[in-house]
Chain A
């Protein structure tokens, strides 16, 4: 079983890769809308990517209002 820190770290890595920005620029507490400069449609794109990676389904209503990587990781962690 992965720890929350491991899950968070994987999310940061995938986000960096997907949006082509250096991994070291991302921190768990960052607001991903601001940091990745994305809108809600592109955020759904990231979530679909994360779903495929972790092999889970994350309903839209679960991520409604979530803006930082750490909270996103905890939502994913709860479904692993």
Chain B
């Protein structure tokens, strides 16, 4: 991989990559069974420079902002390189938001350019964009007959002159990334070139890329994990990024084997689905084969307890690894808390799960579990260059997790007040509660505000007890402190409430209620939920499918009162 300490900006590092590996494939785009195209690093450079020339001819200069609003595809990364080539600041927006939210974030970011996919532009062009500063709109995938108004087709957006590279310095902003919190106050994390270069240099040795290594990109690229794992890391290592234009599970499975994928980033929900699918397949095996599988899993478990031995796991559990393409090195999981049980399931099969802790404000990864030894109960140790401390720990060692490193964002865009609350004396206050154990591993125990303190002085974190309700036939569920839903000025008598979204065909009948009670009984008495609420609407989620707890709590608080709680 490139020695990133030599470069001042992401643009300069990408320039070096296209020079170093001109004939290697960097991008493959596929839709269902059909491969739409592949690009070498040289072709990628030529495509990006064409767009960069178009941008410069439209007056886009160093320090100007350009938003990308696209689902995962080659043009996303081509556009990003073009923006960096011009010295611009990239604003990656979440394509799953509504048109009104897109407009609000485009306005907040003060982007002058918008590069957008046609179906999204179709919705966006229907609403008032006068509050934004967008001057140039470039639309991809527009059908031949489509009326685009003032927008320009991607295919026609090429400058007549050669683009000029505009160097940037490490301290300059590279991206403005909107972290969770699209409701109300937008949190635009201003991340510098140094943030990205340092983060990439710290994590790339853990999951190295080389010409021929392939990353399957399914998490939206605006998300910090995919931007790092599916762009900066592979491109600074000469690797290939495979984009699938569909997220239907059958095509994802096929892509593993067709493209011999090396890495893929997933969110816990997807990992859980993979686990469920595999368990069903194992359960359907004839008894003799199943016994054989169990024996091999036991051997693999014993052999990999202290450290991974991928070659051995691939040999022992050949069919399972073959279903993942046979070349898979790791599934990078992030964005939300992953169940230890799920981590154990994959570890026993020899499929490495790179689990850790991170946040957009710290440019992705803060801690990572190195699997030496396998510890499903923690989020691992800080990655190189990352200082982690627990602020104001209680008697149990739990306090707010604070982080200091060269990867911590510069500030929240146009929000000095929130920045001052979040970065205190150079330490990023994460708002997450955790503790560090004797071996230096971080454990997380919840968020700062959604928690209760019992009469016995015990602190209970809803996320810590949610696991016990796993497996119930609930479509979605979440535990809240009742006082977080319906604020009260009291520190006593706090209770936990389970919010359950059930399948209409299974409204909470007697059997399910007993099952719920049985799960609750498994908790220590002071940790039990005191009641439940039935909720019939989809839980709001972020791009990485993390529940937007604050939004959900607000909505519940608005629509229901405490009398809706059914006691358990």
Contacts and interface: CB of A to CB of B under 8 A. Distances in A.
Q: Check if A and B associate.
A: yes
Interface of A: 33, 37, 39, 44, 48, 57, 59-62, 64-65, 78
Nearest to A65: B123
B173 to A, nearest CB: 29
Interface string B240-278: 000001111000000000000000000000000000000
B117 A61 contact: yes
A55 B330 CA distance: 38
B98 interface: yes
Contact of B475 (A33, A39, A62): A39
B181 interface: no
Contacts of A33: 538
A37 B504 contact: yes
Nearest to B245: A59
A65 B119 contact: yes
Contact of B71 (A37, A57, A60, A78): A60
B123 A60 contact: no
B96 interface: yes
Contacts of B536: 37
B122 to A, nearest CB: 9
A43 to B, nearest CB: 11
B119 A64 contact: yes
Nearest to A34: B537
| B contacts with A: majority SS | loop
Nearest to A64: B119
21 contacts: A37-B503, A37-B536, A39-B475, A39-B538, A44-B247, A44-B248, A48-B248, A59-B31, A60-B71, A60-B245, A60-B247, A60-B248, A61-B71, A61-B119, A61-B141, A61-B245, A62-B119, A64-B95, A64-B96, A64-B120, A65-B96
Contacts of A65: 96, 98-99, 119-120, 123
A78 B144 CA distance: 12
A61 B73 CA distance: 11
Interface of B: 31-32, 71, 95-96, 98-99, 117, 119-120, 123, 141, 143, 245-248, 475, 503-504, 536, 538
B270 to A, nearest CB: 11
Nearest to A62: B119
Contacts of B98: 65
Contacts of B504: 37
Contacts of B503: 37
Contacts of B248: 44, 48, 60
A59 B246 contact: yes
B562 to A, nearest CB: 26
A58 to B, nearest CB: 10
A33 B538 CA distance: 9
Contacts of B120: 64-65
Nearest to A63: B119
Nearest to B141: A61
Contacts of A37: 503-504, 536
Chain A CB within 10 Å, residue with most, of B96, B141, B143, B248: B248
A44 B71 CA distance: 16
